[in-house]
Structure 1
C-alpha cells in the first residue's frame, strides 16, 4: 500500500500546540516563517516517501551483513543516505555557525516522524547524530567542535552512542571500558561495547563514536565515568583501533546494524575527552535525552504507518453484512473500534511528543519554566509513545486477521520493528522510575505541579478535569511513598500522566476553528475510552509493593 505523510495533522500540532508563529517572532527562530514550515513539511514528506519508503521492505528482508569486519547495509541504502545528506535534512535544527538552519526542534520532529514511519531501521542512523550534536555543543571544547561538528551536522559523518557492555546494561555504572591518558592530551580506549546502533556501516567514510569509559583511579559507579569522542578514521587519515566484531540477529529493524564493538585490540583506540573527567554521564545524558524524545517519534511514526495500513485494508476487505448489505470490514463495529483507537492513540502520541520538543524550543529562547517542563515530559513521551507504537502495531495485525500474521501484508513488520522502542534508550520502566524519582521533585515540585495546574485550568471536558485531580492526588501520595512502594506505582502513574497530557492537547486540536471531523472524533473517543482506562491506573499506582513480594520470585516460574 502507499503511505501518505499526515502533513495536515503535523501542521495542526505545530500551529495550535507548539505555537510556531509565535516562536518565529523570536530572532533565534526567525527563519521559521509559515512558508518555510510548509516547505519543510512538504519536502520532508516527499523525501521520506521517495527515498526511504521504497527501501523499507527490501531492507527488512535483506538486512545488514558483516564480512571480514566490513558491515554492508541493504541495497539502495548508501545512495538514499547520500541523498539525505545532500538534501540538507540533517541540518534543520543545528546552529547556523556549524552549517545548520537554526529551525525549531519541533519542526525537525516532523522530519524524524516521517523517516520513522517510512523506514524506522534506516532512520536510526541520523537519529543518534542529533543527540551527538547537542552533547558536543553543550560539553565539547572548541577544538573538538571545530574538527567534528560541521561534519556531524551535515550528516557526512554520522555519530553513535556507546554505553552498554555485557555486564552493564541499565546499570551503566558497572561498565569497565578503560581510558588511559597519552602525553599529547588524547586517550587510549580499550573495551567492548554491545548493542551499538550503526556502529559500523558503509554509508559514510567516517563514523564518530561517543564512548563512555573509566580513567585510572576513577571512583566506582557512575561518578567515575568519562565521555570520549572516538572517530573511526583519525585526523591523519589512518584507521583507528576499533572494529565491529559481530552483528546481533534481531526480531526487527533488520536493516539497522546492531554492532558488537571492540576498542583497542592492538594499541588502544585514540579518543578525546568530552567535558571534564568523571562527568561523562552528564554529557551522555544530554545526548540520551535527545535520543529518548526521538525514540518517542519512532512510536509515533510506526503508529501512523500501522494505522494507515489497517484503515486501507479495512476499506478494501469485504466480509459479512451490515443492515442487510454486504460491507467491507471497516463497517463492523468492532473493527471500527480498533481503527478509532489506533487513530486516537496515534494523534495523542504525536501531540505529546511534539509538545515536549516545543518546550525545548521555548527553553532555547530563555523560558526556564518550559525547560523544566520538557524534562518532566521526556519520560512520558518516550515511554507512552513507544507503548502506543507497539499497541497500535499489534491492533493493526488484528485488523488484518490472518493476513496480518503473515509477512505478505507488511503489518507484521511494523510490530517487529516497534517492539525495540520501549527497551532501548532507557527501558520504559526506567522512564517511569525517572518520573517519580526525579521529575516529581524537579524545581521543588513546581515543574510537575505547574504542568498539572495549567492543564486543570485549560481543559473543558469533565473527564479530563477529573483525571487531572486524580493525577494530582496520586502524585502527592507517591511523593510520600517509600522506595519499593513508589517504584511499584511508577509505571501506572506515568500512563495516567501521559493520557492526561495527550487528552489535553487533543482537546486543544479539536477545539481549533479549522479542526477536521476526524480530529474531533479522535478527541471524543480518547476522552470516552482512553481517559476512563487511566482512572483504573490510579488504583494500580496506589497499590504499593507488598503484593509484588507476596511470594518469592521462584514461585512465579
Structure 2
C-alpha cells in the first residue's frame, strides 16, 4: 500500500488522511483479519451449503449472518471511510478497499452487503434532500439500516433506457412506484429493521432515481410495510449466502433523489463505488485461492526419483509457473486497486483544482480497467488454484471450487466486461480524446527508471503499443464496428499497461524482507512476459472486424 502513487499527496491534505499512517494501516488490517477469522470463516462454507430461503414472504439468511453483521457494525467497520461529519472515521478509501478485500477473501457473499450500504450512503449524501439525508445518512453509515441498488428488469438489463418501472408523484410530494426489478443483491433480509432501495423508474421527465424503503412511517408515527414483495430468490452458481431477489413494487412509496429525469447520472455515485468494489472482490477471492494453492503445493508430495521420497509438488516447474502467475496477478492488480482508491479520494478532496481534475480524469480511465481485470483475476486465479490442487480442488473438501463459483459474477454485474470495454473506447478514447490515457502514460513512464534491462523494455513496449492502439482505434471512429470488434482486447491491453506500471514499482523495491522479496518477484515475473503478451493483445485490438464478420456463417 505504501508504494501507491498519490498516497503521500493524499496524506498531505491533513485531517484524518494525514493521521492514517503506516501504524494506523497495520492496526486496522490486523483488526479486520481477526474479525474475519472469528466471524466470517465459520459462515463461508456454511452459507454456501445452506443458501437463502423465502419464508412467509421474507428472506431467511444462513445461520451466523445475523451475528456477523452485528459484530461488523458494533466494531465500527461500516464507518471506516465515511467522512467525520457523517459520524465516520474519515480514513482513506485505499484502506477501506484493503479491508473489503480481506472480507471478500473470507466470505464474499457476506461482503456484498457492506458494499451496498456504503455506496448508498455516498449516494444519499450527494443527492438526497436534507430531510431524507438527516434520517438515512447516519443510519446507513452505522449499518443500522441497509440498502440495495435496483436497476435491472426482465427487458432492461444493460439496456437501462428500456426500463418500464414507473413513478407518479403523490399529493404529499412523495412518489408511487410500480414495476418489477430483478438481480437485487440482499433485496430482503432481517439483519436491519429498514432497507432502502435505490431505484430507477420512469417519470414524465425521464429516468429518475428514488429511495424506496421496505417499511415506512404512517401519519401516526407507526411503522408499516411498504407495498414491496419478494417474488423469488434466484438459484445461482455462487454467492449462495447473498440473496439475489426479484422484487415487485406495487404502488410503493418512494422519495426522489436528485433532479427529476437525472436518475442514471445521479446513480453513478453509487455505481462508481460498486465498480471499484467488484474489482476488489475479484482480487480478494483470488488472494484467498492463491494462499490455499501455495500452502497445498508445499504440503502435497508427488513425483521425483522413484528411489527417493516423493517431492513437494512446489518443486515442479509447471506448478511454480502457475503459482508465480497467480501471485503476479494478485499483487499487481491489488496495487491497481489501491491506485484507483487513492485517485478517487484525490478527485473528491484535493484542494488544487488542477490536480483534482487530473485525479478525476485518471480515475475515469482506470475504473473500467480495474473493474474488469480485477473481476477476471478472481475467476482465473481460482481456476489455476484448482489446477494446482488437482482432483482435490474439484471437491468440496477444499474451498477452491467455491471461490471459483463465487468469483464468476464479478465480470458480469455492475456492467459486463463488454460494457466496460465500450466505455473505455467510446467515452475515454473518442469523447474524452484520450485525456485519461495521456495522464496515465505520463505518470507510468516516470517510474521506468525503477527497473532496467528486459524489465524496463517490457514496460516501455507495452506503453507504446497501448498508445498506438488508441491512435488506431480513434482513426476507426467513423467505422465503429471495426473499432468495437477490438474493444475487449484494447481493455485487456490497457490492463496489461496498468499492471505493468504497478509491476515496475514492485520490481524496483529494495526491501530485503520476505514480503519485499515476494512483491519484487511478482513484479519482475510480470514484466518479463509483458512485451510478448502486449504484442499479441495489441494485434487483436487493432485487427478490425474481419474475423467477427464470419459470424454470419453461424446463422441458421
Q: TM-score if structure 2 supplies the norm length?
A: 0.93
Tell me the secondary structure at the aligned position of residue 230 of structure 1: strand
Q: 1:191 aligns with which of 168, 179, 195?
A: 179
**Unpaired runs of at least 5, structure 1:** 1-13, 219-223
Residue deviations 1:348-371 (CA, integer Å, cap 9, x gap): 110111111111111122222011
Q: Which residue matches 1:390?
A: 379
Give the deviation of 1:243 after TM superposition: 1.6
The answer as to whether partners of 1:341 and 1:525 remain within 8 angstroms in 2 is yes
Give the deviation of 1:20 after TM superposition: 3.8
Asked whether 1:310 is paired with 2:293, we answer yes
Residue deviations 1:248-273 (CA, integer Å, cap 9, x gap): 00000011000011111xxx111000
Q: Which residue matches 2:224?
A: 238
The answer as to whether partners of 1:298 and 1:421 remain within 8 angstroms in 2 is yes
Tell me the secondary structure at the aligned position of residue 246 of structure 1: strand
Moved over 3 A (4+): 18-22, 322-325, 441-444
Q: Structure 1 stretch 25-34 or stretch 127-136: which is displaced more? A: 25-34
The answer as to whether partners of 1:17 and 1:509 remain within 8 angstroms in 2 is no
Could you say if the C-alpha distance between residues 530 and 409 of structure 1 is closer, same or farther in structure 2, counting changes exceeding 3 Å? farther
Tell me the secondary structure at the aligned position of residue 195 of structure 1: strand
Q: 2:475 aligns with which of 473, 477, 480?
A: 480
What are the within-5 Å matches in structure 2 for residues 391-406 of structure 1? 391-406=380-395
Give the deviation of 1:531 after TM superposition: 4.7
What are the within-5 Å matches in structure 2 for residues 308-347 of structure 1? 308-321=291-304, 325=308, 326-347=310-331
Q: 2:396 aligns with which of 407, 417, 431?
A: 407
Give the deviation of 1:443 after TM superposition: 5.0
Q: 1:376 aligns with which of 365, 379, 402?
A: 365
**In structure 2, C-alpha distance between the alignment counterparts of 1:375 and 1:71, rounded to whole Å:** 37
**In structure 1, C-alpha distance between the alignment counterparts of 2:37 and 2:5, rounded to whole Å:** 25
Residue deviations 1:9-32 (CA, integer Å, cap 9, x gap): xxxxx2111454442231342332
What are the within-5 Å matches in structure 2 for residues 80-91 of structure 1? 80-91=68-79
Asked whether 1:497 is paired with 2:484, we answer no
Q: Which residue matches 1:435?
A: 424
**In structure 1, C-alpha distance between the alignment counterparts of 2:551 and 2:196, rounded to whole Å:** 48
What are the within-5 Å matches in structure 2 for residues 50-69 of structure 1? 50-69=38-57
Q: Structure 1 stretch 114-123 or stretch 38-47: which is displaced more? A: 38-47
**In structure 1, C-alpha distance between the alignment counterparts of 2:507 and 2:374, rounded to whole Å:** 20
What is the total number of aligned residue pairs between the two structures? Answer: 534
Asked whether 1:299 is paired with 2:282, we answer yes
Tell me the secondary structure at the aligned position of residue 187 of structure 2: coil
The answer as to whether partners of 1:311 and 1:339 remain within 8 angstroms in 2 is yes
Give the deviation of 1:463 after TM superposition: 0.7
**In structure 1, C-alpha distance between the alignment counterparts of 2:338 and 2:48, rounded to whole Å:** 28
**In structure 2, C-alpha distance between the alignment counterparts of 1:385 and 1:33, rounded to whole Å:** 26
What are the within-5 Å matches in structure 2 for residues 523-534 of structure 1? 523-534=523-534
Asked whether 1:451 is paired with 2:433, we answer no
Q: 1:271 aligns with which of 235, 254, 273?
A: 254
Residue deviations 1:358-391 (CA, integer Å, cap 9, x gap): 1111112222201111111000000011111111
**Unpaired runs of at least 5, structure 2:** 351-355
Tell me the secondary structure at the aligned position of residue 545 of structure 1: coil
**In structure 2, C-alpha distance between the alignment counterparts of 1:443 and 1:340, rounded to whole Å:** 37
Tell me the secondary structure at the aligned position of residue 78 of structure 1: helix
Q: TM-score if structure 1 supplies the norm length?
A: 0.93
The Cα RMSD (Å) is: 1.6
Q: Structure 1 stretch 350-359 or stretch 231-240: which is displaced more? A: 231-240
The answer as to whether partners of 1:180 and 1:189 remain within 8 angstroms in 2 is yes
The answer as to whether partners of 1:98 and 1:153 remain within 8 angstroms in 2 is yes
Give the deviation of 1:275 after TM superposition: 0.4
The answer as to whether partners of 2:505 and 2:523 remain within 8 angstroms in 1 is no
Q: Which residue matches 2:211?
A: 229
**In structure 2, C-alpha distance between the alignment counterparts of 1:142 and 1:322, rounded to whole Å:** 74
Tell me the secondary structure at the aligned position of residue 59 of structure 2: strand
**In structure 2, C-alpha distance between the alignment counterparts of 1:231 and 1:31, rounded to whole Å:** 37
Q: Which residue matches 2:517?
A: 517
The answer as to whether partners of 1:62 and 1:74 remain within 8 angstroms in 2 is yes
